[in-house]
Amino acid sequence: MAENKLTDKHLRNLKPADAEQTIGDGGGLWIRVLPAAKGGAINFYYRYTFNGKERRYNCGTYPDTSLSQARNRRNEARKLVKSGIDPTQHEETAKANRSAAQALERMEKTVEGLLDDWKRVYLSAHRKDGGAEVEAAMRRDVIPLLGKMRARDVKLAHVNQVIDRVLERGVRRTANVLLSLMRQMFRHGLGRSIVDTDPTLALSKKQAGGKETPVDRNLSFDEIAELSAKLAASDLHEKMRAAIWILLATGARIGELLKARWADINEREKTWTIPAENSKNGRPHLIHLSAFAMKQLKTMKEYKDGPFLLSGRDPDTGMSDKTVSKAIRDRIRKEPLKKRTPRSGTLLLAGGEWSPHDLRRTMASRMGDVGIEPHVIERCLNHVQQGIVGVYQRQEYMKERKAAFETWGRKLASLTKRK
């Protein structure tokens, strides 16, 4: 039987019919066109006889597999038949061997390999940042200690080693967050047959980080005035001090400020636009800048050395959250850490410890205290209401938001006025 009777043009012009079609290319290669009701797929297969029985070997699906590629696969299969090997059985055996090798590889996967697998399979699809923040936390505190270990060899003692190292820095919440992340990672490993057990199972947050600083921490008016006096007397860089006031004046998240570029600031309109890709909820947000906020931006602009409001060591990159948080945390803790600033406790307030993340909650709480309506505060924070109320309350309240930011700015100006 003649071979290579068909052309690519023939295949391109094939149309599915009501019934299945079978077309021969010669040399045992056939094209099967499924009916339109079944999707109309075009499949290649090699028809051969082995041990007295007719068999079919899959050569691919058009157009993912070209006619030329299908013929090559037929040729390889035909060689196997001539050698006394069933190509279908040969492929199934090869597939089983690959699966066994993959299973062995999973068993040998290190903790770092497990992290990579978790990020590739789960985090990249379910986290807005593709898992970058989680990966950074794990690489900072887990991988240096456990990264080279086989994941299935990790025991509770190793988990405690990570937690203890974090607690030495005095960050209980970070210890609890890491325990949660490690638990999620090892449970992912269970589902992927990378580990047989979850080594974090017997450890609770109470046993790990213990009681945390309340997450609803916000500063009182008296503490804002206290912060003003302490910042003025601190050794924090003037640009960093201004950044703290920007967070308090705008209610922006620390991550949004660190990603902010000078191009996002409209000095004439006195607005700051947070692009959708920089906001936590994926919605663009317009912040009206009060006179107080504009004053802080003016201070920051005096130190402008790149496109970002807060540049990192490389002017073309933004400053990291870790840099800002560490600078403040070192000045809040009562006892200095080794090789850190000796100015411990200089920013500790009467109400206790605080962090840059608390300033957003502070604005929300204190705005209400100066008479701003809750629905306006929600829009100032770029909150999205859920359900029917959210559907019918999509007004942007631009005028009210501008007035709210101005009112809040005046309050901050009065609280921070030097006496």
Q: How many domains does the chain have?
A: 3
CA 93, 96, 102 angle in degrees (round to 5)?
145
- State residue 385's pLDDT score: 55
- State residue 213's pLDDT score: 52
Which residue shows structure tokens 């901050």?
412
The 3-state secondary structure of 197-231, one letter per residue? CCCCCCCCCCCCCCCCCCCCCCCCHHHHHHHHHHH
- State residue 168's pLDDT score: 76
Residue 45: exposed, middle, or buried by beta-carbon count in 10 A (0-12, 13-18, 19+)? buried
Backbone angles phi, psi at 239, to 5 degrees: -65, -40
Whether the CB-CB separation of 284 and 276 falls below 8 Å is answered with yes
Domain end: 71, 100, 129, which one? 100
Please indicate, yes or no, if residue 385 is contained in any of the structural domains: yes
Task: Convert 155-167 to b/e letters by CB count within 10 Å (16 or more is b).
Answer: eeebbbebbeebb
State whether 295 and 374 are in the same domain. Answer: yes
State whether 375 and 244 are in the same domain. Answer: yes
Pick the closest to residue 237 from 305, 285, 176, 139 (CA basis): 305
SS3 state of residue 347 = coil
State whether 164 and 313 are in the same domain. Answer: no
- Sheet strands side by side (includes 29-33): 21-26, 29-33, 42-50, 53-62
How do 29-33 and 53-62 pair as beta strands? unpaired
Which residues are registered as beta bridge partners of 50? 53
Tokens of 8: 């690519």
- State residue 388's pLDDT score: 34
Which residue shows structure tokens 């055996």?
93
SS3 state of residue 266 = strand
State whether 168 and 314 are in the same domain. Answer: no
Q: Specify the CATH number for the domain of residue 272.
A: 1.10.443.10
Q: What is the DSSP letter of 123?
A: I
Whether the CB-CB separation of 345 and 334 falls below 8 Å is answered with yes
- State residue 391's pLDDT score: 36
What single letter denotes the amino acid at residue 152?
R
- State residue 101's pLDDT score: 67
Q: What is the DSSP letter of 269?
A: T
State whether 115 and 96 are in the same domain. Answer: no
Q: What is the DSSP letter of 53?
A: E
What single letter denotes the amino acid at residue 139?
R
d(CA 162, CA 176) in angstroms, rounded, equals 11
Range of the domain at 36: 8-100
State whether 119 and 148 are in the same domain. Answer: yes
Helix H or strand E encompassing 287: strand 285-288
Q: Specify the CATH number for the domain of residue 23.
A: 3.30.160.390
Tokens of 276: 């959708």
Please indicate, yes or no, if residue 201 is contained in any of the structural domains: no
Name residues whose C-beta falls within 8 Å of residue 90's C-beta, 6 or more positions apart in sequence: 80
Domain end: 191, 206, 241, which one? 191
Please indicate, yes or no, if residue 353 is contained in any of the structural domains: yes
SS3 state of residue 10 = helix
What is each CA distance from 143 to 69, 151, 222, 382, in whole angstroms? 44, 11, 43, 36
- State residue 318's pLDDT score: 78
State whether 289 and 330 are in the same domain. Answer: yes
- State residue 100's pLDDT score: 67
What does the DSSP assignment read for 259-323?
H-BGGGEETTTTEEEE-GGGSTTS--EEEE--HHHHHHHHHHHTT--SSBSSB-SSTTSBPPHHH
Q: Mean pLDDT of residues grouped by 10 in the chain (419 residues)?
A: 84 88 92 90 94 93 94 94 92 82 71 93 87 90 92 92 83 86 94 91 80 69 93 90 96 92 96 91 91 96 91 80 79 59 73 87 92 91 58 64 96 85
d(CA 225, CA 408) in angstroms, rounded, equals 14
Q: What is the radius of gyration, based on Cα positions, of the chain?
A: 32
State whether 292 and 353 are in the same domain. Answer: yes
Q: How far is C-alpha 257 from the geometric centre of its chain's CA atoms?
A: 17
What single letter denotes the amino acid at residue 7?
T
Q: At what angle do helices 291-301 and 398-415 cross, to 10 degrees?
A: 70
